[in-house]
Amino acid sequence: MSTDTFLQIVTLLSGLPIGRVMLIGGEPTIHPNFLEAVRTLKKAGMDVAVLSNSIKFEDNNFLKQTIEAGVSGIMTSIKGGNASDYLQGTGSPSAFTKVMRAISNIEASGTPHEVSVTVCESTMKSFADIIETVKTSWARRFLVDTERPVLLSGGLKPGNFPDCAKIAAFLMSTYPALVQSGLNFSIKVSIPFCHFPPSFIRQMREDNHLASGCQMINGSGLIFDPAGKLLACNHLCENPLGTLGLDFSDGEGYYAFRNRPDLTGFYKRMGTCPDQRCVECEHWTLCGGGCKLHWLCAGANELLGQYSEKGGKP
């Protein structure tokens, strides 16, 4: 992202009731103007957090500069639970060691710190190691996310995503180990909840370990790509809703843009039930039918269906 585009975004955010900004990537810490961007957002009154692979924070001086610039929270996205996983996933034999040192630095700094992992084919294989790694990190919170497809101009890219039934079976089998770990964790479920026995969903809700929902359902949050294009979701990275400086430039212009019939129609569509069975579901407000991109990959017969307490469709 250019400095000019970034400053235009800051101007826009200053005119809207937005208090928190999350810097994401790619990898935000390797941007040449990363620290200056943090300072600018902080000066504009924003609470600034960063989602990072945290390798740069192995350098304690860089971490201190980041905190002094104004970052008030760090989320480390880990790619595996051991050096072998990182070597396979990143090609770097030292990446795992660097991340572990970085996590130790972050925790020692006292900065609020969370660790996240995305459940996909590669991380499912070594999830027991991942749990142990997170336990040693002393992170305040562990977020378990689930992989979602990405819609590009060339078509839908399912990515490293197991089918919904496999994800559900994995989460149910892993849940006891997560509970026994003593970690403060939450699981963001992007598949329809009816892939689980109802009692499992109720248990996760009662335990306060279930995180779900999609920002497109209620139209919350703003996501900008490097060119200043507004995205409904960062998995719709080549399908922008509008462009900063063209469709809107300030808070007043954004409100006018957001109230256009095509935009209100889009978000209304995103918030509707994709199937009659969703209308009747007690968990609709949290589930929302799962990630909308799954519905571009499969139909209702595959995505939905009332599951029995024993699991599986009756």
Cα torsion 77, 79, 82, 87: sign: negative
Report the percent of the chain where pLDDT is more than 70. Answer: 94
Query: Which residue has better confidence, 18 or 7?
Result: 7
Tell me what the mean pLDDT of segment 134-155 comes to. Answer: 84
How far from the centroid of its chain's Cα atoms is residue 297's Cα?
Answer: 20
Q: What is the pLDDT of residue 157?
A: 67
| H or E element that contains 224 | strand 223-224
Q: What is the pLDDT of residue 310?
A: 47
Question: pTM of this prediction?
Answer: 0.89
- Residue 314 reports pLDDT greater than 60: no
Report how far residue 192's alpha carbon sits from residue 283's, in angstroms, rounded to the nearest whole number. 10
Q: Which of 81-90, 103-112, 126-135 has the lowest mean pLDDT?
A: 81-90
Strand partners for 143: 116, 186
Task: Give residues with Cβ within 8 angstroms of 17, minimum separation 6.
Answer: none
In the three-class reduction of DSSP (H, G, I as helix; E, B as strand; rest coil), residue 59 is classed as: coil
Banded model confidence at residue 313, pLDDT cuts 50, 70, 90: very low
- Residue 210 reports pLDDT greater than 90: yes
8 A C-beta contact, residue 244 and residue 9: yes
* pLDDT tens column, 265-278: 998 888 887 787 78
* pLDDT tens column, 156-166: 665 556 678 88
> Could you tell me whether strands 71-77 and 47-52 are parallel, antiparallel, or unpaired per DSSP bridges?
parallel
**Sequence spans of domains, the chain:** 3-150+157-303
Report how far residue 126's alpha carbon sits from residue 309's, in angstroms, rounded to the nearest whole number. 28
Report how far residue 123's alpha carbon sits from residue 129's, in angstroms, rounded to the nearest whole number. 10
Q: Token digits for 72? A: 């008030």
Tell me what the mean pLDDT of segment 44-50 comes to. Answer: 96
Amino acid identity of residue 45, one-letter, is G
Query: Which residue has better confidence, 160 or 32?
Result: 32
Q: Token digits for 140? A: 């305040």
- Residue 209 reports pLDDT greater than 50: yes
Tell me what the mean pLDDT of segment 235-254 comes to. Answer: 92
**R_g of the chain, CA atoms, integer Å:** 20
8 A C-beta contact, residue 8 and residue 38: no
- Residue 311 reports pLDDT greater than 50: no
Q: How many CB atoms lie within 10 A of CB 111?
A: 18
| DSSP H helices in the chain | 3-14, 34-43, 60-69, 83-90, 95-109, 121-124, 127-137, 164-181, 198-206, 215-218, 251-258, 261-270, 276-279, 284-287, 294-297, 300-303
DSSP string for residues in 258-298: HTSHHHHHHHHHHTS-SSHHHHT-TTHHHHTTS-TTHHHHS
Q: What is the pLDDT of residue 161?
A: 64
- Residue 312 reports pLDDT greater than 50: no
Banded model confidence at residue 305, pLDDT cuts 50, 70, 90: low
Instruction: Tell which CATH classification among 3.90.1150.10, 3.40.50.800, 3.20.20.70, 3.50.50.60 matches the domain 3-150+157-303.
Output: 3.20.20.70
